[in-house]
Structure 1
Amino acid sequence: MSVLIGSKRTSVYKGTSSEAIRHQYDFLGEFYRLTLGPELVYSYAMWEDGDTLESAQLRKLDHHAEAARATGAERVLDVGCGWGSLMQRLVENHQVGHVVGLTMSPGQAAWIRDKGWPNCEIRVENWFDHEPDASYDAIIAIEAIEHFAGTTMWRSKRIARYRTFFERCHSWLRPGGRVSLQANAWNGSGWLSSLVLPPRVLAAQAEPGAARNRLGLKDIHDGFNNLREGMHASRKVFPQCFLPTRAELTEAGRGLFSVMEVRSDPEDGLATVGAWLERAQANRVRGAELIGANAVSDIIREQRTALKFLRERRYTALRMVFEKV
């Protein structure tokens, strides 16, 4: 989707369309609310031994608050705020004076307004159009950047779109302010290799000087299956989304931000999706009443694919902290 500004010769891509967002979070969200737990957090948690999904999600929220140095801050921006769990946590547990949450989902915004949390301002707004009333002390974006680049296969275009986001963040932040970002991210070899190459080849690519591995017929067959499953998830569950790589995000922020911390946590993804899948299967009948049996089947199929891809280290839960320079 392109939004025309000024004339037909000038177009600016603003990320996932409003229609796709409503499909993902308002329509499918009717089912997700049965499976995500009371915090309604639709992103990968941070797990330790003995955790429940709920405790692991709260640990993740606290991690980002601390990584962004948001505790005690006057103003914090939550980009892609979902159903507001981080906003509430920042105010109630991290003594943040005022939190602004951005979402393009009218349903999520209505949910947050109904909660009436103090010092939480919700805006149905694309980050591209955001004009803050004052500078922010910290910005947190948890699994939002997957919506920013669309489905372009051109790396340079993706980086340019990510850079626009970092430019906006740079202008919104006070000096020395931080962005704490979490994303589903392809491994270092990029999207196509991450999807189609067998796990042994992906592992060898990460080792300098490793011998090349030849591909057999089964490898080629499995690669086509992975492409098919990835395309199904893109069409039915996450339309107009694309996963970045760590290198793309680092390059996009260069000169604007210093990278202060990088974590790759695929096991957190595995544990979270496993918990979601278990709850999705348990709520399948009720979910079919809400959004239809086919839509529920699409979600369960996508979650099974995600588990497979995470186990094979095709993608990861990437967490990065950027500091304004």
Structure 2
Amino acid sequence: MKSNACELVDIQRIPKPIAELLHKVGVNINGPEPHDIQISDERVFGAVLSHGSLGLGEAYMNGWWTVEKLDEMMFRLMRSDADELVKAWTKVQWVLRALREKVINLQAPARAFKVGEHHYDTGNDLFEAMLDPLMIYSCGYWEQAQSLEDAQLHKLDMICKKLQLKPGEKLLDIGCGWGGLAWYAATHFGVQVLGITVSAQQQAYARARCKGLPVAIELIDYRDLTGQFDKVVSVGMFEHVGLKNYSDYFDAVRGLMKTEGLFLLHTIGGFEKTEATDPWIDRYIFPNGKIPSPGEITEHVEGKLVLEDWHNFGTDYDKTLMAWHANFEKAWPQLEQRYGERFKRMWTYYLMTCAAYFRARKGMLWQLVFSHRQRPETYRSIRPLNST
């Protein structure tokens, strides 16, 4: 039975597994707290029991349930690993998804541009409204930051210092986004930059941003690159490489980097290995993505590059995502006509669920620095903003 949009469902009609799960994590159905879920359509129950996290997310997009503090509700679910119980309700589907990812190379060269077309080409107006002025679409570094702009500038500065950039060096930026890091490195550290992306909109925007600087921005897959670079960096791109391609990825970096060079990898990481990507994220946000575990990285880089440094500041992604959401909400009146209410619910669900993922420490943010074994110089890492 479907309820009217202005009414909430009778809690006596809630399936027992769902009621017990929510009660266990301290979330009440139609309760008074900001993290309590408000359900207006009984179809949400079938969606969750049949399709797990995909059904929950789609039900939110449909307006079948709401919550004042979506990030807090999802945090409570993830902190208690309730999301793992939901997976058990749809075990067959998860087994099939895991089998699909093992059998098919979802990030093969023929699929490399799909995520660019699906996500990063959504619209520059959306990302301009949501991100900082340099449009850095990755975790900021908040240790001494008072704003999103500060956090991103501090992150860029730290990356360049970890890479020990020197004037005249050639820097390869794999997954350059809208060109913010390329612009910063060329402007503040005097390097030449080649940035590559799989998004046509990012390429056009980055080229305009870096006009007049020793920066080239190309629409190309990393597997098709040739040449030699003093330093290599990749920020927020490794999540699209895929487990089947990790060895090829590190082989490519090794071949592109000079013997004395350094490679900085900035990536989301998982607390533990996962067999399949969350189906809602895969369908609506990042198709064919894959979050690496620590072991999956070390397994595929072993014997190729020396791991010099591993820095985790994953809780900073919670702050970054909340700042993006605040900007998105503020800009929504100007975006509404183009994107529509269903998109707003989808984008809100994406940002708030991801914030909860990092807040619950299921997700990490890693910066790893690698070198060639033949590099003669000892690498000394930095952490504080003012380190040299």
* TM above 0.5: yes
Q: 1:316 to 1:29 in 2, by over 3 A?
A: farther
Candidates 183, 187, 198, aligned match of 1:104: 198
Secondary structure, aligned partner of 2:327: helix
Q: 1:271 to 1:15 in 2, by over 3 A?
A: farther
Separation (CA, whole Å) in 2 of partners of 1:15 and 1:304: 32
Match of 2:100 in 1: none
- Give the % identical residues: 23
Match of 1:211 in 2: none
Unaligned runs of 5+ in 1: 1-10, 150-157, 196-226
Secondary structure, aligned partner of 1:108: helix
* 1:190 matched to 2:285: no
- Quote how far apart the aligned CAs of 1:113 are: 2.1
Separation (CA, whole Å) in 2 of partners of 1:305 and 1:12: 24
Moved more, 249-258 or 65-74: 65-74
Q: 1:50 to 1:122 in 2, by over 3 A?
A: closer
Task: After TM superposition, list the pairs within 5 Å mapping 1:1-325 onto structure 2.
Answer: 13-14=108-109, 16-96=111-191, 98-115=192-209, 116-132=211-227, 135-149=228-242, 158=243, 160-187=244-271, 189-191=272-274, 230-325=278-373
- The residue type paired with residue 79 of structure 1 is I
Q: Could you tell me the TM-score, scaled by structure 1's length?
A: 0.77
Contact map agreement 1:28 1:295 (CA 8 A) in 2: no
Contact map agreement 2:145 2:151 (CA 8 A) in 1: no
What is the CA RMSD across the aligned residues, in angstroms?
A: 2.1
Moved more, 40-49 or 24-33: 24-33
Moved more, 280-289 or 114-123: 280-289
Q: Is the radius of gyration larger for structure 1 or structure 2?
A: 2
- Quote how far apart the aligned CAs of 1:297 are: 2.0
Contact map agreement 1:65 1:71 (CA 8 A) in 2: no
Separation (CA, whole Å) in 1 of partners of 2:195 and 2:312: 26
Moved over 4 A (4+): none
Separation (CA, whole Å) in 2 of partners of 1:19 and 1:30: 20
Contact map agreement 2:107 2:241 (CA 8 A) in 1: no
Separation (CA, whole Å) in 2 of partners of 1:232 and 1:286: 27
Match of 2:13 in 1: none
Flag the structure with more relative contact order, 1 or 2, with Cα contacts below 8 A and sequence separation at least 6.
1
Q: Per-residue CA shift, 1:66-107, capped at 9, x if unaligned? A: 2122233520100000000010111110121x1000001111
Q: 1:28 to 1:302 in 2, by over 3 A?
A: farther
Secondary structure, aligned partner of 1:166: helix
Separation (CA, whole Å) in 2 of partners of 1:53 and 1:39: 11
Moved more, 139-148 or 263-272: 263-272
- The residue type paired with residue 199 of structure 2 is S
Match of 1:207 in 2: none
- The residue type paired with residue 108 of structure 1 is Q
Contact map agreement 2:114 2:287 (CA 8 A) in 1: no
- Quote how far apart the aligned CAs of 1:29 are: 4.1
Aligned length: 268
Contact map agreement 1:80 1:141 (CA 8 A) in 2: yes
Secondary structure, aligned partner of 2:137: coil
Secondary structure, aligned partner of 2:153: helix
- Quote how far apart the aligned CAs of 1:34 are: 0.6
- Quote how far apart the aligned CAs of 1:41 are: 0.4
- Quote how far apart the aligned CAs of 1:249 are: 1.2
